[in-house]
Structure 1
C-alpha cells in the first residue's frame, strides 16, 4: 500500500516556478482579508513554496481568516452576545482557514514537516520496520 493512501501528507518543497514577488491583492478583499494577505504573502514568497496556481487558495484563506475576525469584532461590539447563526458561520470559516493554512505550511505542524524533511525519515525504534 502506498504511503500516500494511508493519509500521510507529502513533503512540502520549493516550487519549480515559485512566485518571487507578491501580486496585488484582490480588489474585493475587505480590510481584514487584506491585512491577512499582507501578513502571509512575504512568508510564503520567502519559502518559495507557492506559484501562480496557488493564488486562488490563498485568496480563499485570506477571506475566511478575515471573516472569522470580522464576526468576532461584531460579537464584541454587541457586548459579547453570541448569535448562533453567526457562530456557525464563524466556526466553518475558521475550519476552512485552518485546513487551507495547513496545506500552505502556515501552521506549526506543517512548518515542522517542512523543517524536518517530511515523514520520509525512517523510524529507527519502530519494531515493525523491515
Structure 2
C-alpha cells in the first residue's frame, strides 16, 4: 500500500510496555479546572496502558485546553450568560485543541474503538465467547 493511500489513517493504539501504572500527581501550575480533568481522565489512561512518561506533556496540554474552556464557560455564566467574542475565539481554539489531543490518547469514542480499550492480551482466555 502506498503512502498516499495511508493519508488520514491513524495506526491502532496498543498497550505500551513502558506504560505508567499509577496516576502521577497533576503539575502544580495547572488550573483547578485542568487538575480536575487530570484526575478524571488519568485512571482511564492507566487502565488502557497507553500513556508513558514521554506522553505527559501532551496530557498536560489536553488538560490545560479543557481547563481554559471550563474557565471561560464559568466566566460567561458569572456574567449572566453574556458571550464575549474574544473569549469565544479562545474557547473555540482551546476546544479544538482539546478534541485533537483527546483523540491521541483514546479519550473519544472513535479513538477508544481504535485501541479496543486495550484489554490485556490474555483476556480472551477467560472469554467463553472468544473463538
Q: Is the 8 A contact 2:16 2:50 kept in 1?
A: yes
TM-score, normalised relative to structure 2: 0.85
Q: Is the 8 A contact 1:75 1:81 kept in 2?
A: yes
Number of equivalences = 117
Tell me the secondary structure at the aligned position of residue 50 of structure 1: coil
The whole-number CA distance in structure 2 between the counterparts of 1:52 and 1:68 is 25
Deviations 1:24-47 (A, max 9, x none): 110101110010000001100011
**CA RMSD, Structure 1 to Structure 2 (Å):** 1.7
Structure 1 residue ranges (4+ consecutive) displaced by more than 4 angstroms after TM superposition: none
Map of 1:122 onto structure 2: none
Q: Is the 8 A contact 1:65 1:94 kept in 2?
A: yes
The whole-number CA distance in structure 2 between the counterparts of 1:116 and 1:36 is 20
Tell me the secondary structure at the aligned position of residue 73 of structure 2: helix
Deviations 1:83-116 (A, max 9, x none): 0000000000000000000000000111112229
In structure 2, the gaps of 5 or more residues are 119-131
In structure 1, the gaps of 5 or more residues are 118-130
TM-score, normalised relative to structure 1: 0.85
Map of 2:88 onto structure 1: 87
Map of 2:127 onto structure 1: none
Q: Is the 8 A contact 1:20 1:48 kept in 2?
A: yes
Map of 2:108 onto structure 1: 107
Map of 2:124 onto structure 1: none
